[in-house]
Amino acid sequence: MFKDVGSIEAVRYHSLHVDISDCPDFEGLAWADDGSENGRVVMGVRHTTKPLRAVQYHPESVRTIGGGKQVIHKFWLSAKTRNATRDIEPWGRTQHSTFGLSWSLLSIRDASAPKSRVVIPRTVTTAVFHLPYFSTLEICELLGVKDESSPFVVLDSAAKPGRFTIIGLLLLSSPLFIGHCRDSFVTVMTGDRILREQFGTNEVWSWIKSFMHQKRGFADSPDVPFWGGLVGILSYEIGVDKFNILGQRCWTG
């Protein structure tokens, strides 16, 4: 993967890192020096006997120089070469029992959220204000956001100049969902009201999908890319929990 790549200026975004010192089956391929904080942190590994390669940085980022598209290209060529010389086992019962259903295949009929009544899509009304001299921070302050403890969300554009920044001001009627991996319920907080919604043996994604189905609508300004929905935080561990590798972990949204 790293042949002839040399030094890499890479984007990193992770609060966890892999320690392979006690893993004889894995060999380190690239490192970053974190100094006294974490020391030498592995950034690329390979399995010594199996066709497994992995990186622990973002080669796809536009800010990654030297180890971006070159590494992805080498990885792709390696995968194509291997697949061309070996029989690929089709997706079957063994894989299905290991990985389960894809999220995209979950049906809203699997969820326990209310679904008996006919859903009539709502119209989301928009208005345009021309404010060329205000920054995102100043607009938030004008809307009453005085500090980080205020109930709001900001998805700021990384582009300079950016075309859209999403600012969400939460009302007392805005629900907050909190849940944990392997629980059969989700906690819904609306102001001072706290409810526990059961989704039984189904996954929380079915419950969320059903909730959004009940609230769906359409915009009167189709040029705006985002005019409503859910904004949340998912922990890294929720992906690991999908494969039943770790124990209880948390997600919030």
Q: How many residues does the chain have?
A: 253
**Contact residues for 12 (Cβ-Cβ < 8 A; gap 6+):** 32, 43, 56, 57, 58
Residue-level pLDDT at 243: 57
Of 159, 165, 170, 161, the C-alpha closest to 136 is: 165
- Digit-by-digit pLDDT tens for the chain (253 residues) are 888 888 888 888 777 788 898 889 999 999 998 888 888 899 999 999 988 888 989 898 888 888 888 899 989 998 888 888 877 777 777 877 777 665 544 444 444 444 455 667 777 777 778 888 888 888 888 888 877 777 788 888 766 666 788 888 888 788 888 888 778 888 998 888 999 988 866 677 788 888 888 887 777 777 777 777 788 888 877 766 665 544 444 344 3
CA 134 → CA 139, 157, 247, distances in Å? Answer: 6, 14, 47
Count the Cβ atoms, other than its own, within 10 Å of residue 71. Answer: 24
Residue-level pLDDT at 108: 46
Count the Cβ atoms, other than its own, within 10 Å of residue 32. Answer: 17
Of 157, 202, 168, 165, the C-alpha closest to 183 is: 202
3-state secondary structure of 98: helix
Residue-level pLDDT at 28: 93
> Do 14 and 64 meet the contact criterion of CB atoms below 8 Å apart?
no
Burial annotation 217-252 (CB, 10 A radius, 16+ → b, else e) = eeeeeeeeeeeeeeeeeeeebbeebeeeeeeeeebe
Alpha helices in the chain (DSSP H): 69-85, 93-99, 136-142, 204-215, 237-241
Alpha-carbon torsion, ordered 76, 80, 81, 82, to 10 deg? 100
What is the tens place of the pLDDT at every residue in 73-118?
Answer: 989 998 888 888 877 777 777 877 777 665 544 444 444 444 455 6
Residue-level pLDDT at 205: 79
Distance CA 2, CA 211 (A): 46
Distance CA 208, CA 107 (A): 11
The fraction of the chain above a pLDDT of 90, given in percent, is 9
Residue-level pLDDT at 106: 46
